[in-house]
Amino acid sequence: MADLLLTGAAIATVDAAGTEHATGHVLLRDGVVAALGPGSAPPALRAGDVRVVDVAGCLVTPGLVNTHHHLYQWATRGLAVDEGLFAWLTTLYPLWAHLRAEDVEAAARAGLARLALTGCTTTTDHHYLHPRDGGDQLAATVEAAGTVGLRFSPTRGSMDLGASAGGLPPDSVVEDVDTVLAATADAVRRHHDPAPGAMVRVGAAPCSPFSVTPELLRQTAQQAAELGIRRHTHLAETADEEEFCARTFGRRPVEVLEDLGWLGPDVWLAHAVHLSDADIATLARTGSTVAHCPSSNARLGAGAARARDLLDAGVPVGLGVDGAASNEQGGLADELRQMVYTARLRGGPTAMSARDALRAATSGGAACLGRSAEIGSLEVGKRADVAVWDLTGLGHADLDDPVVALVIGPTPPLRLSTVEGRVVVEDGQLRTTSEQQAVTDLVAARRRLLGRA
């Protein structure tokens, strides 16, 4: 793979100092950022087998990091569109119970392709639903990520509290604790790579307080510590969840997780919408991180997370698309704008800046996934995960601040993106797989699923 030298663009490094260059250069070599700086690239950087790309008029940023998703849901977009979370879930659980691994692979490939085309270079996936005759669906998502070429942090999700025991999901899609632990250990053995620059890292992810038992949470926390993997779950997404925890445990959702040993620097939490001041202080004290999903929360009417308050308290916040069945647009770049707007609806025009949102989508996401030393900012020695946004068109031509153009303006075309230095998107087109084939396979998967249901 030839070295890649990007020249002539504005650069937002999103490093700790917030370094930016009005015009600069970035050299990608052997999977890492080998050089970057202001102005023209020194002649020595152009020597040898180097592909030089003039990206004048563009903005170079770190590749975006998606911290919460359910890729299988891409096959069920547009259903129960006027329901809140609990009614939406109870409508779709019986449909999802018919998923097979081939359906999940097609849905994941489509969802990952959409993420890639909107600047995402690293994503997680929370796959918590495992029908008994559905095949190895987590492996299907790993295969899809390899095809599209994104860095991937899948989580082996789980549910063990079925409707007959007072939970929300039907009994047909829940598992017992021993099955979950064995499957998680197997997923780590087969897919997890702890090495620097790894393309796949596996986590453990019991679904939510209303679909898992305290015993599952306790045992997965212990197992994750033994395996050296991160933990993920939904938390405080809706008022319904808050009421469930009060009724079932006599505690708030954050208190339930802390009681069960499910907060800490190895934990990232999806949504965290309904938080008290004490809850935010607890997350900060325990070093937990939050995946903020503004579009999904708005789509389901769940509420607006207190992202500004979390950041001010020192809680790292990343951005999440969430499942495409609760966020049909499915792209990551739009979430930057949504984060700004949601925060300003709560706190006024100074509550969230464009640069705050870009940091959440990059270095904040890296913190959630435990990869701050490798991704999330453009710095020499970090992985060569880069997004190049074209700001030369009608939508951005008069926006003097390129970061504002990216975040507040129309989502720009993606001129180029790389993962580990490999080109994934160029001139708005996937270079790793066929977008049209992804569409064809997705439509076929959806028809198969609806036919079974």
Question: Over 159-224, what HEC string results?
Answer: CCCCHHHCCCCCHHHCCCHHHHHHHHHHHHHHHCCCCCCCCECCEEEECCCCCCCHHHHHHHHHHH
What does the pLDDT read at residue 262? 97
One domain for residues 274 and 400: no
One domain for residues 299 and 394: no
Q: Is residue 376 part of a domain?
A: no
One domain for residues 286 and 190: yes
What does the pLDDT read at residue 132? 85
One domain for residues 173 and 50: no
Residue where a domain terminates, one of 368, 393, 422: 368
Query: In terms of Cα–Cα distance, which of 35, 122, 16 is closest to 355?
Result: 16
Counting the structural domains of the chain, the total is 2
Q: Is residue 114 part of a domain?
A: yes
Residues forming beta bridges with residue 27, ordered by sequence position: 5, 35
DSSP string, 48-83: SSEEEEE-TTEEEEEPEEE----GGGGGGTTSSTT-
The CA-CA-CA angle for residues 84, 163, 183, to 5°, reads 100
Residue where a domain terminates, one of 344, 368, 392: 368
Q: Running along the chain, 453 residues long, what does each successive block of 10 average in pLDDT?
A: 93 98 98 97 91 97 98 95 92 94 98 98 96 94 98 97 89 93 98 97 95 96 98 96 94 96 98 98 98 96 97 98 94 98 97 98 98 98 98 93 97 97 97 97 97 92
Q: Tokens 């926006």 map to which residue? A: 399
Tell me the C-alpha distance between 228 and 334, whole Å. Answer: 33
One domain for residues 35 and 69: no
One domain for residues 357 and 256: yes
One domain for residues 169 and 223: yes
Q: Which CATH number belongs to the domain containing residue 408 in this structure? A: 2.30.40.10
Determine the structural domain holding residue 81 and report its residue range.
64-368
